Structure 1
Amino acid sequence: MTRFTATRRLALVPAVAAMMLTGCAAAGPADAPATEAPTTPPASSHGTHAGAAELGEPQTSILSISTDGKATVLDLLTEEETAVGSAHAPSAIASDGRYGFLTTADGVDIVDGGAWSWDHGDHFHFYRGEPAVAGSVPGEGPVVVATPPLSTRGATGLFFSDGVAVAIDMAALDDGELTEWFRIDTGAESGVVAPAGNYAIVAAAGTATVYDDTGEETGETVDCADPSGAITTRVGTVIGCADGALLATTDAGPVELERIPYPDDAPRAAAFSGREGRPTVAALSGENAFWLLDTRARSWSRTEVDASLTGVVAADDNDGNVVAIDAEGRVRVFGADGSDRGSTEPIADEDSTLVVDTQRAYVSVPSAGTVYEIDYADNARIARELVPEAGLAVSTVVGR
């Protein structure tokens, strides 16, 4: 590994650490480690929001958007559906577990799903507020979205195909204001904007540069050939490069970039996916293999399977489950070693998305207007078929 350090201006941190570590009783998932804090420093509010209620368990819901932009939230406990409002017609969705970031013909529409969690390191706080359409970010062409670990801090990065890099202020969005840390024309055809604490890293045109929340560069620029894919983990932020990954970490200090090279010349990762708040993420590697990147160990492992895969997510649970979709539309569950742990009948289509939570996977199938809830630890058993009344173009899971 090669280490780089990007210097930055000092941030004002409230002297409330002792208060933050007391009076917190909400427990997190059983397999959540207590060895690392979230990559964005917590605040004394623990993720509270005016008008939101703190509850004792996750407020998990399906946020779905119809082909004509109607947004609804379907409560997974009661199966009651609530209309949220109207957005533009979406072609894709990304999420941080609270907001849905919709790719549209005019840029990105943001929908607040009204439920979120606050990762406090060794436990979680869970909130429910009012879902709403939060606003639109103008942009041209398809967009790559990278979200921070906490929905009320840091920035969400948007990289549009015309080369414009944007960082959205998440603390302001939580307050009902849609503002940008920066908007930079990189001139590149592809890239990513990756959040890292109070900073954001723009990777484009063969380099990666750290910016602060005013859009100023804060340190040296490092090499990152053909940047593609970014994701935040419990350890730090991953940025995919042609020769491996950059791992960005910060703990109220300089942003440190570590290079994690591939162990061999197998097909690289172009996008990463994993259960939120976990250290290990997955990526496709060619047609019938997947990479697992363990950001805690700073190591890659590649596994070949007897299937052609179109999507893969690391559940990173105690059993090391990896959930995938194959070319026939089946949801497959593998061990980290490629062992077959179950599959569904063909249910997914080419527009399906896959989200993995603590105990369930959710597969959105627009052609069927259905979201399948799958118990991936029980031989990929289909637990429920959820059908949003307004129709389904894209969906995600909020409250996780």
Structure 2
Amino acid sequence: MRSPLLSTCLTGALALGLVACSAGPARDGGDPVTDPPTGTTGEGHGAVTGAEELAEPRLGLTTIDPSGVVHHLDLLDEGVTELGSVGAPSAVSTDGRYLFAETPDGLEVVDSGVWTWDHVDHFHHYRADPRLLGTVEGDGAATVATTNLSTSGSTGVHFAGSGDAVLLDTEALSRGELRERFRLEGEPGPGMVVPVGSSALVTEGRGDQTTLVGRTADGDETGLREACPHASGTITTRVGAVVGCADGARLATVVDDELVVERIPYPAGSTAAPATSFDNREGRPTVAALAGSEGVWLLDTRARAWTLLPAATPLAHVTAVDDEDQRLLALAQDGRVLVLDGSTGAIEAETAPLVADSLAAGRVPTLIADQQRAYLSAPVEGKLYEIDPADDARVARVFETAAEPAFVAETGR
């Protein structure tokens, strides 16, 4: 395998944020699939009044610095735009269009203005004016759960400080409105609100007594109650919504207009730590998670099956590319980005230690996979890297940043 060294970028940083060096924009057209995306309405194709439909996705990297200033880097023309400011963020979540920034005021929402509508056998790509949408009020850490569609369905938010469970109307977000479908009072502490079609799963209880409760879009109970001890981590795949539990995962889908939850237990005899955070190339059926220090968990939501892979080196993060080669991307604790064989866990390619200083400072970078490229933030180093996993983990482009890219999302996908 080859470990390419990063070529020197001599350009200076623009006042507004980012400068690119090297060449070759990335594009992610998506894969033909057979499963309908969770929450698809079948209407509108993701169009919003005033938005321009594009022939290909307008991918970008939207960043928020420690003070809350938001920048957007267009990966096609490498132009940079300052979108405004939010409060100083402590965490950021995304669905590929919106950034949900946890700030002292609550959860502030940024619309990047670029998105893709997944219509099963083809895709529609849009661009509109980016904007700051306002704040969802709440106390304490905010856990956000999104779907793969940014103009329909719902977005779930749980505030640990108050215990409030909130379901946002995502279609209203696409029109620039913050509208709550429901807000339920709960017990302070960790929790989740997981959107599934027109319904949601809301956690109740704590620890090994945690239960997933089915709720309608109005907040009424559906009658579904499913035990999920130590619920932690959620992601929406091509098949349905995944929730991590101490004894495996719960896969939530809608069957004949009814919310259904299936149990996917860990393999018998497994002693590896449970998955508590999932990541993948957006919408794909397979997701990856760290299995503590023992390796990597892969969950195939189509096959309803787990696979435990050994880790060749200590890892900080892992994500499933879920392409024809079943590759994984991982961030090693020494700062390298690794391309892993999805069947064995073996290292197929690697970069130099690009983010060693960030990891040493406790600033865990963001690693993002799309169909063609991977993107890695380097908060302390002040860079954003574009990596080609299919070409020996070659560093394709480097973007210098004028301010620390504390949080980054790939938008437009």
Residue of structure 2 equivalent to 1:13: none
**C-alpha displacement at 1:28, in angstroms?**
8.1
* CA distance in 2 between partners of 1:186 and 1:290 (Å): 33
Distance in 2 separating the partners of 1:35 and 1:200: 24
Which of 277, 286, 293 is 1:287 aligned to? 293
Map of 2:348 onto structure 1: 341
Alignment-mate amino acid for residue 263 of structure 2: R
Q: Offset at 1:251? A: 5.0
For residues 92-107 of structure 1, what are the structure 2 equivalents within 5 Å? 92-107=91-106
Structure 2 counterparts to residues 221-370 of structure 1, below 5 A: 221-251=225-255, 253-263=257-267, 264-336=270-342, 337-348=344-355, 349=358, 350-370=363-383
Q: Say if 1:41 and 1:251, in contact at 8 Å, map to a contact too.
A: no
Q: Is the 8 A contact 1:91 1:394 kept in 2?
A: no
Which deviates the most, 288-297 or 35-44? 35-44
The SS at the match of 1:297 is: coil
User: Matched residue of 1:378: which SS?
Assistant: coil
Which residue is 2:393 aligned to? 380
Read off the aligned partner of 1:282 and give its amino acid letter: A
Q: CA deviation at 1:265?
A: 3.0
Q: Distance in 1 between matches of 2:249 and 2:265?
A: 6
**Contact in 2 for aligned 1:39/1:251 (Cα 8 Å):** no
Mapping 1:184-195, distance limit 5 Å: 184-195=184-195
| 2:208 maps to 1:200 | no
Q: Match for residue 62 of structure 1?
A: 61
1:391 Cα deviation after fit:
4.3
**Which residue identity does 1:367 align to in structure 2?**
V
**Structure 2 residue aligned with 1:170:** 170
Distance 1:187 1:65, change over 3 A: same
- Whether the aligned pair in 2 keeps the contact of 1:230 and 1:271 (CA below 8 Å) is yes
In the alignment, the residues of structure 1 paired with residue 99 and residue 371 of structure 2 have an alpha-carbon distance, to the nearest angstrom, of: 19
How many residue pairs match? The answer is 373
Give the aligned residue type for 2:219. Answer: G
Q: Is the CA contact (8 Å cut-off) linking 1:70 and 1:87 kept in structure 2?
A: yes
Distance 2:347 2:104 in 1: 40
Runs of 5+ unmatched residues, structure 2: 1-26
Query: Structure 2 CA distance, aligned partners of 1:144 and 1:369?
Result: 27
- Per-residue CA distance 1:131-152 (angstroms, 9 max, x = gap): 1111111222222211111001
Identity of aligned residues (%): 46
Query: Which residue does 1:22 correspond to in 2?
Result: none
Counterpart of 2:36 in 1: which secondary structure? Answer: coil
Q: In structure 2, give the amino acid aligned to 1:342.
A: A
Give the structure 2 partner of residue 17 of structure 1: none
AA aligned opposite 1:187: E
1:318-361 per-position Cα deviation (integer Å, ceiling 9, x unaligned): 11111111111111110111121111111222331111111111
What residue ranges of structure 1 are gaps of 5+ in the alignment?
1-26
Q: For residues 366 and 225 of structure 2, what CA distance do their matches in structure 1 show?
A: 34
Matched residue type, 2:91: A
**3-state SS of the aligned residue for 1:250?**
strand
Q: Distance in 2 between matches of 1:171 and 1:252?
A: 23
Deviations 1:151-209 (A, max 9, x none): 01111111222222221110111111101122223215222211101111112321001
Shift of 1:252: 5.8
Q: Residues of 2 paired with 1:378 and 1:185: CA distance? A: 50
C-alpha contact 2:312 2:347 (8 A) present in aligned 1: no
Amino acid in structure 2 at the alignment position of 1:369: G
CA distance in 1, matches of 2:273, 2:146: 25
Larger mean Cα displacement after TM superposition, 248-257 or 119-128: 248-257
Q: Counterpart of 1:191 in 2: which secondary structure?
A: coil
In 2, distance between residues paired with 1:391 and 1:325? 19
Query: Residue type of the partner of 1:36?
Result: D
The alpha carbon displacement at 1:84 in A equals 1.0
C-alpha distance after superposition, 1:291-335 (max 9, x if no partner): 000000000001012211111100101111111111111111101
CA distance in 1, matches of 2:385, 2:333: 17
Shift of 1:379: 1.8
> Is the CA contact 2:28–2:372 (under 8 Å) kept in the aligned structure 1?
no
